[in-house]
Copies of this chain bind each other. A is one copy, B any other.
Amino acid sequence: MTYCVGTLTAEGLVMLADTRTNAGIDHISTFRKLKIWKRPGERLVALMSAGNLAVTQAVVGLLEERMEDNSVDPGETILGAPSMFAVARLVGAAIRDVREVDGPSLEQGAHGFNATFLLGGQIAGRKLRLYQIYAEGNFIEATEDTPFFQIGETKYGKPILDRVMSFGVPVKEAAKVCLISMDSTLRSNMSVGLPLDLMVYRRNHPGEYIERRIAEGDPYFEDIRHRWSEALRSAYRGIADVPLDG
């Protein structure tokens, strides 16, 4: 399984992914699910994926092959497309291309053709965008009303996002909420696991971004986990017990 969360805020973009993949309970590996492409000063494109690893790797592989293929119009590649909307369409088209090849045999298995992506980024002079792209290749866009998207094992980490995430929170705070949301998921589902990949981007600085890998023992993340756990315990202790009698 996988958990990825992306948030669009007034200040910028936060993307967070775990790295655990599993095929059954005894075949667990670490794969990076956050991919970043950039032209410093001109564009930053980040893609996170959930679903069948063979499918998501094939999609990323196809997108990269096209960037290196001189016979492909640069405007039809991630690093040359004129807008993030065009980039989202390229990702969608790559998903459909992979589906054409691998879909029929996957549909015969129990899990089907299963892949979802979060695509975020900005091209100089254009707006910062965050999209969720479906296995069908179509997509929806985050807005001020709905500033976050989740893919993979989404439910455990959703309550905290529902309560505190909004378009107005600063990116440092948005990153913190995403990490808390990830922590809830890590605790409740062992098929989501460390290390994590975190990317934070401030609007209108294409090419500049902060990327961190958070591994087991990372002092800040350990501190969040501990404090959040303590805070929840003390919060629930602070609420009066159910008045059962009388």
Interface residues of A (CB under 8 A from B): 155-156, 158-160, 162-164, 170-173, 175-177, 179-180, 184, 187-188, 198, 200, 210, 212, 220, 223-224, 227-229, 231-236, 238-245
Contact = CB atoms under 8 A, between A and B. Distances in A.
A200 B243 CA distance: 11
Given A156-B156, A159-B159, A172 B244 contact: yes
Contacts of A231: 231, 235-236, 238-239
Contacts of A162: 187-188
Contact of A175 (B163, B179, B232, B242): B242
B164 A233 contact: yes
7 contacts: A159-B188, A163-B229, A179-B242, A198-B242, A210-B244, A228-B235, A231-B231
Contacts of A238: 227, 231
A230 to B, nearest CB: 9
A231 B235 CA distance: 5
Nearest to A235: B231
A149 to B, nearest CB: 15
A180 B227 contact: no
Given A187-B163, A232-B235, A233-B163, A176 B241 contact: yes
Contacts of A184: 159
Contacts of A163: 187, 229, 232-233
Contacts of A210: 244-245
Nearest to A231: B235
